Amino acid sequence: MINRSLRLIIYCTILLQLHSLPLMSQQMQQNENLRYDRHSLKQKQQQFIEKHGDLPILQFTISGASKTDQVFILNQASAAPGDRLSKFNPYSLMNSLKKSNIFSDIDFHYHNNGETVTVEIAVVEKWTLIPLPIFYSNAGSTGGGLFLIESNLFGYGKQFFIGATYATNGWNALSGYRDPGLLGSRFKMNIFLRHKNTIYETGTMDGNTDRKYKCGMSLARLDTGYAFTDTLTLYLSTAYESYDVDNSFNQGFNMPDSQQSVLFATVVDINRLKYYDYFHYGLLIRGEFAELLPANDNSKRYETATLYAAYYLKVFDYQRAALKLRGFTGSNPEVAKKRIGGKNGFKTLPAEMILTDRYFSATTTYEHSLLKFSWGVVTASAFWEHGMFNTENGSLQTFYGPGAAFFVYMKKIALPAIGINYGYNVITKKSEYSFSAGISF
């Protein structure tokens, strides 16, 4: 209880300190958001056409891009030199560049050359090479670590990260690479590597432990995808997964068997999100069907299916409501079941405690900006989550409850939102805390 009270005091102190910094006016906030609005962008283009005519494009020029290769930007434009200005879709390019999260400001200017027009793409680049120290504490462990993140590798919007954490229950190292356009094409590639050696405690929703073991987990995964449209991408994936249970761990009991598998999966990604200053709105759906073949005689063959769907609704500027659905079903062996507690959609469950091969959760959220500065925005979010999961004896366990969170979005640094989360489980009458920086801890 003392640790939880201390964390709440620290969080409130941070917010009070932030409140003392100079704020942006409401009018400035509205102007910032209008820059990314479809109607405003189209209106600016149409006003030029009405005044000067639908001129052919002489060239595209880019200002402000010192690290980003111009080819990366121009490959996402819907028009080329020689096309009429009306063929250029400023909103499509704006949304693609905002999605990359490597620019803090983007604007388009049209310059009349007499019989032609020059389209200027003006950008301000974010700081993309970031060392990120992490400290976290939850009911399961306390730990910290360091990550190095680059969001604009080689100036082509490619992402790379590497880092490690050490906690009271073990250590975890991971690295990843994401290429949104191989050689400027519609092909995509993701590479993910992970190794962790952790003491796991598995149990019930109210915190009773029924299994304890030490396990080394290794994962190497490759996703190769193709974007058929701007919103639809299909991935074919393969991976090697290994769960090596330490049978000599003398504190363990009810330990599961080890498992080594080779994964083959199909992933469908539908992204119809519209990106504004900090928030995004719209529909996101991601589904995966995977088959995992045994890599040795002692392992089991099994299948899994995963679904994530979210819809973000713009209510007012810098306010949004959302509905998020998560589902999973599989025939996983015990050691390879999903740990859901403390993660998104399961904030009211104890972190890393719940192990399941079937779950469903629905979360409704409302997020509102509290403080907006020139460097970023601080938001508050309230949520209600309701779901169920399959327990070890095969029965379904329901959970639900409210929660709240504070998030910090950085304008000039290419980081995902950093958040502090609180959830209350109505059934167990217990509170759960977590920290998130793109992923949850």
The conformation of residue 373, written as its DSSP 8-state character, comes to -
Q: Among 2.40.160.50, 3.40.720.10, 3.90.850.10, 3.40.640.10, what is the CATH number of 129-437? A: 2.40.160.50
Report which of 242, 285, 282, 286 is spatially closest to residue 265, judged by C-alpha positions.
286
The structure's pTM equals 0.86
pLDDT digits (tens, 9 = 90+) for 335-344: 999 999 888 9
Amino acid, res. 81: P
Residues 48 and 68: their CA atoms lie apart, in Å, by: 28
Place of tokens 């932030």: 18
Are residues 254 and 212 in contact, defined by beta-carbon separation less than 8 angstroms? Answer: yes
Q: Quickly state the pLDDT bin for 31 (edges 50, 70, 90).
A: low
What are the start-end ranges of the H helices in 77-132?
90-100
Residues 418 and 434: their CA atoms lie apart, in Å, by: 11
Amino acid, res. 371: L
What's the mean pLDDT when you consider all of the chain? 89
Residues 387 and 330: their CA atoms lie apart, in Å, by: 17
End-to-end CA distance of the chain: 19
Q: Which tokens belong to 106?
A: 């983007």
Max CA separation in the chain (angstroms): 82
Residues 211 and 295: their CA atoms lie apart, in Å, by: 25
Neighbours of 103 (CB within 10 A): 24
Instruction: Name the region of 373 (left: φ>0; alpha: ψ -120 to 50; beta: rest).
Output: beta
Instruction: Tell whether domain 36-125 is in CATH 1.10.287.130.
Output: no
pLDDT digits (tens, 9 = 90+) for 348-391: 999 888 999 999 999 999 999 999 888 899 999 999 999 999 98
Tell me: pLDDT of 47 over 50.
Answer: yes
Residues 208 and 397: their CA atoms lie apart, in Å, by: 15
Report which of 325, 368, 361, 333 is spatially closest to residue 346, judged by C-alpha positions.
361
pLDDT digits (tens, 9 = 90+) for 185-217: 999 999 999 999 999 989 888 878 889 999 999
Q: Compute CA distances 151 → 63, 94, 124, 125, whole Å.
A: 20, 18, 15, 11
Domain extent listing, the chain: 36-125, 129-437
Neighbours of 311 (CB within 10 A): 16
